[in-house]
Amino acid sequence: MATILQSAVGSEALIHLHGLTREYASRAGAVRALDHISLTIERGEWVAVMGPSGSGKSTLVNILGCLDQPTSGSVRIAGTNVHQLSRQELDRFRSETIGFIFQQFHLIPYLTALENILLAQYFHSMTDEEEARRALASVGLGDRATHLPSQLSGGEQQRVCIARALINQPPILLADEPTGNLDATNQEIVQEHLRTLHRAGHTIVMVTHDPEMALLADRIVDLHHGRIAAERRAGVTPQK
């Protein structure tokens, strides 16, 4: 793993996608979720991916997170062509490099907030309860450590999800509609956490439907029918 990360050091972009295509088989024939996408994301950059439902946003994030495989094209993350990694190397790469923030939170229902964070540590290396408690406290949930996900509000669950995503200090954070299921107050809390992470130097790729949320990013990528329809700096009118 050390060699994988070492190769990332240098001037190369952190994420480099080239000719990325993802097709799914269906009864009606092959459905192309991504169609020859090429994209480069720099270290420390915050990129918002926008687009209508079915445009391929989540597919893109899943491929970036090594949770899905492209049908063709290459994905280069931190200098590593993830296509060339074995399953075991991919598992290791994922736990070292990527943190996930899901719209549906995806916490393990039978583990407490603290244990959900410990789980990420457990699969990464070894558990450190003090560090996990600090992570929970950093998202304002120090007093909710022993609560099960079902005993937490949606906003609180998302904050546990953020703490879990950060516990192993991955260089890349992938957020799929991180505020999609939250009320205005919790949206603001999560936005603030993401701003802090960005300031701390994390690279964030965020899928969102929310134009206000997208404005927090450095760059906005608009997807349409699996293709990049437009790219712009946040706050700038889209250019085709």
Q: How far apart are the first and last CA of the chain?
A: 39
Cα 57 from Cα 35, distance rounded (Å): 12
Q: How far is CA 173 from the centre of its chain?
A: 4
Among 37, 47, 77, 102, binds other proteins (CB under 8 A): 102
- Least Å distance, CB 201 to other proteins, is 21
Sheet holding 72-77, edge to edge: 29-41, 15-26, 72-77, 80-81
Among 110, 183, 195, 215, binds other proteins (CB under 8 A): 110
15 vs 107, which CB is nearer to other proteins?
Answer: 107
Amino acid identity for residue 126 in this structure? M
Q: How far is CA 210 from the centre of its chain?
A: 16
198 touches other proteins by CB under 8 A: no
27 touches other proteins by CB under 8 A: no
Among 23, 68, 210, 218, binds other proteins (CB under 8 A): 68
23 touches other proteins by CB under 8 A: no
91 touches other proteins by CB under 8 A: yes
- Helix boundaries (H) for the chain: 2-6, 57-64, 87-97, 113-124, 129-138, 154-166, 184-199, 211-214
123 touches other proteins by CB under 8 A: yes
Binding site for other proteins (CB under 8 A): 58-59, 62-63, 65, 67-69, 87-88, 91-92, 94-96, 100, 102, 104, 106-111, 115, 118-124, 126-132, 148, 164, 168
